[in-house]
A = this chain, B = another copy of it.
Amino acid sequence: MSSIAVLGYGVVGSGVVELFYKNKESIIAKAGTDVDIKYILDIRDFPDSPYKDKFVKDIDVILNDKDVTVVAECMGGVSFAYKFVKACLEKGKSVSTSNKELVAAKGAELLSLAKANSCNFFFEASVGGAIPIIRPLHKCLAANDITGVAGILNGTTNFILGKMINENMGFSAALKMAQELGYAEKDPTADVEGHDACRKICILSSLICGRHVYPENVYTKGISDISLEDVRYAEKFGCAVKLIASMKKLADGRILPMVMPMLVPHDLLLARVDDVFNAVLVCGDGIDKAMFYGRGAGMLPTASAVLGDVIEEIKCGKCTDISQTWEDSADPSFVAGHEESINKIYFRISKTDDIGIKAIEVIDDSDDMVFVTGPMTLLDAENLGRKLSESGVNVKAMIPVLDI
């Protein structure tokens, strides 16, 4: 008999409890042992819940109960979650979390703590919601040199861009609709400005390169200045505008993670990922390309990923999974800046006689002049933009084209 504790009874936590009891019988069969949820930690009262007898407010009840071998952390945020997860791991209790902020900020430390206490810190739910990506990356693709990933890792921004692309809706109206539908927070900064996607690409990058990649070292640009004009011109160039969180291995061994709106060519399946769905394209020397697609958020999808980890832990016992880990790294010099990224670049500028370079495609049918350059570094692209500005040209947009 294994006992589970669920920390936090918000959207994800209540989803974990609901999905567990819905499929308890088959979960027990897959885990190979009897399993139950013994505690749910929340500061609120739920007197009408069918699980009311399981609620506790004191983490020590969970920490001191030897029956509890695995804990599902669904509180979110860093401060309390970090404290509680750390205490659980120190007690040798494995943790499964959906908390990307926690993993991106404290992953290396918590992974090391799990190893020291012969248990696991699992986080499949922290990237791509329901999408299996963490376990496939470090297990199924273990024979590969992973050379790059490019993902749509934020459902809110993908929903907004989808409304702009498919329904000609402006950014503000699309954001408002996302908020009304519950896809975006009242303060949408973390989604819209790319911080959420940044945490997720940090987690994937850390897992792939084996060293902790901190969000503050990753260039992050959101979608708030993407205009309908750019979305329309992108279509003319055979591309969809998507917020792409990407990571590439460079020839010198450094990695280049970044979050930016990009033009994604339609012949990549990523360009077709609509609505609030997420997807991660992975490139490796064995697989060539693989893509993982599904719901990136939501109650039951996220619960599915949390519980997948919980079941794995119960099945395998307290054997630390050594391929799901990375080291801490005080020196961030293995992380290259976005200026080194080499891409074709989409420019939209006010009309001018000379754009200073030979563009590979130009559209010149409006007040604007729109062109796509050949491959250049983002540093060169920024210099080109600056030169154009200095010569009196209004540079209205500059968006890299995804190349993977």
List the interface of chain A (C-beta within 8 A of B). Answer: 19-20, 22-23, 26-27, 29-32, 124, 130-132, 135-136, 138-145, 210, 267, 269, 272-274, 284-295, 298, 300-301, 303-305, 307-308, 310-312, 315-316, 319, 321-323
- CB distance B140 to A136 under 8 Å? yes
- CB distance A301 to B287 under 8 Å? yes
A327: min CB distance to chain B, Å: 11
- CB distance B269 to A284 under 8 Å? no
- CB distance A135 to B135 under 8 Å? yes
- CB distance B290 to A132 under 8 Å? yes
With a cutoff of 8 Å between Cβ atoms, the chain B residues found around residue A310 in the complex are 143
In the bound complex, what is the Cα–Cα distance between A19 and B143 (angstroms)?
7
With a cutoff of 8 Å between Cβ atoms, the chain B residues found around residue A290 in the complex are 130-132, 292-295
Known: A30-B142, A285-B23. A315 touches B322 (CB 8 A): yes
With a cutoff of 8 Å between Cβ atoms, the chain B residues found around residue A304 in the complex are 141, 143-144, 284, 286-287
In the bound complex, what is the Cα–Cα distance between A307 and B286 (angstroms)?
10
With a cutoff of 8 Å between Cβ atoms, the chain B residues found around residue A142 in the complex are 27, 30-31, 307-308, 311-312
In the bound complex, what is the Cα–Cα distance between A312 and B144 (angstroms)?
14
A378: min CB distance to chain B, Å: 28
- CB distance A139 to B312 under 8 Å? yes
- CB distance B294 to A288 under 8 Å? yes
Pick 30 A–B contacts, CB within 8 A, sort by A: A19-B143, A19-B285, A22-B285, A23-B144, A23-B145, A29-B210, A30-B142, A32-B322, A32-B323, A124-B140, A130-B287, A132-B132, A132-B140, A135-B136, A135-B140, A136-B136, A136-B140, A142-B307, A142-B312, A143-B308, A269-B269, A269-B273, A285-B300, A286-B304, A286-B307, A287-B304, A290-B295, A291-B293, A316-B316, A316-B319
